[in-house]
Structure 1
């Protein structure tokens, strides 16, 4: 799902556009509250948006 970062939802979301971009590119892991808000925003299970792969 493509999201335009210039759209108004980022401003009211509680994170910066830079943070949203870093999350989207995999350079930053969101906090649990942010992850849950993203899942609610996109109406998807959190598992469909984020995956966990432990590092050895």
Structure 2
């Protein structure tokens, strides 16, 4: 996710903890389906175009 969005670790955790990107937490690690990243990107694009 960090590579795709070109963000750092702190920003990645911030997005996950705020619920902006949906994820599944397994133990101490997060699993992020690709579709959730795509939905986040599309939402950002729509927000910027309005």
Instruction: Give the TM-score of the pair, scaled to structure 2.
Output: 0.30
Q: Point out which structure has higher relative CO (alpha carbons under 8 A, 6+ apart).
A: 2
Instruction: Give the TM-score of the pair, scaled to structure 1.
Output: 0.27
